[in-house]
Structure 1
Amino acid sequence: MPPATTSQQNGAETQSELHRRREKAQAAKTAADQAQATVVDMDGQLKANTTQTQNLETALQRAHDEVTRLKKALKASVKDRAKLRSARKKAQDLAGKTQRKAQAAEAKYDKVVLAEMLRREKDKDRAGGTPQPAARTPEPKPTEPATAQSSPPESPTRKAEATERPRAGAVTAIQTAARKTAAVARGKQAPKHATDAQGSTAPSGGASGEKGSASPSSRS
């Protein structure tokens, strides 16, 4: 084999080897770059995951604190509800008791008012239906002419009004009505008393006249 041919073959082999080496190196570099890119991407994902984990842990802690606060608030609300129910029961019992007392007091007051009105009506009826006693004319004295007039007797209504004491439990309106009723009764009885008084004094005058007229005849 000639020397030139051998050298050409050696050169071709060398070029072929270099080409293969270059391709392998290029492929290795590409693979290394891809691996590095994968590492960088994984680092980014890992960092994001770490941040998310921290955020979730913070939110979980906040939620745990909120749950604790809500549990305490719920417990306090349950206690307050029990206290309010107990207080409401006491208030309801007290309201019922005071209402019963008020009703009893009102019933007693009604009885007193009715009794007072009935008593006054009875006094009024008795005063109007009882006949007045006739006034007696006093005998004239020998030395004095019989000119004194007997005053009419005091009516039972006035005596009752003078002696009775107003009850403490009577209402102002009832007392006012009773006073008006008594005043009307007195107004009705006043003319009757005056008539009786005039009738009782008339005989005394007549008797004195008769005595006066009889005196001259006897003297003559």
Structure 2
Amino acid sequence: VLIGMIVGYASATQEAATMLSIAIGSILLLLSNLILPIETMSKFVVDISRYNPYVMSSELIKQTMLFQAGILDIWVELLLLAGVMIVLIALAFGVNKASKMRLLQKSPHLHKGYIYVPEDAYLKLGKHIIKNKNDVLKVLKSMSDEEFETHVKKKNEISDWVSNILKERKLAWRLRFKVRNRMLAIMERDIEKENKYKKKIMNNAKRDS
């Protein structure tokens, strides 16, 4: 499972992940002592196959089931198997993080707040039109008290739009209090945080290129 996760994270396409998974699975199966006895292979292959998690696990089961080996008798093998699992888990997390960074560097709009909003999904509040979060901030600043009363205090249309269209339910929940100054402060902090994240992604992309 962990090897499959690593292959999936490291592959750029689904086809590449499938082909690489088949290749690695075939190699591990060949070295699993299931198809061919490992003893019939070269010493180099035998030494490598001993680190195959399947071979290590099957040997431990064989020793405990057939030879009644106790924990003290197989503690070295257990420690080695645990070490292999820890390395695979660390590698899976590392490759996952690297693949996410690579994806965000190529497509920073995938980060929350950069979702594509079609024209028919724009929020129209009287003469104001909201297309993104920057527009939310501008409209909150420019709308009159009467407009704020109509579109926010009676029914918080901005909070509903942020939740349903931008899919940012946490931000929408924070905007539900219907107090203009508080909503402005929340939007300013959110946009500032988002801009810092975007700048960081761009700097990482320039450094790696």
- The structure whose residues are more often helix, as a share, is 1
**TM-score with structure 2 setting the length:** 0.24
Higher RCO (CA 8 Å, separation ≥ 6 residues): 1
Between Structure 1 and Structure 2, whose CA radius of gyration is higher? 1
What TM-score, normalized to structure 1?
A: 0.24
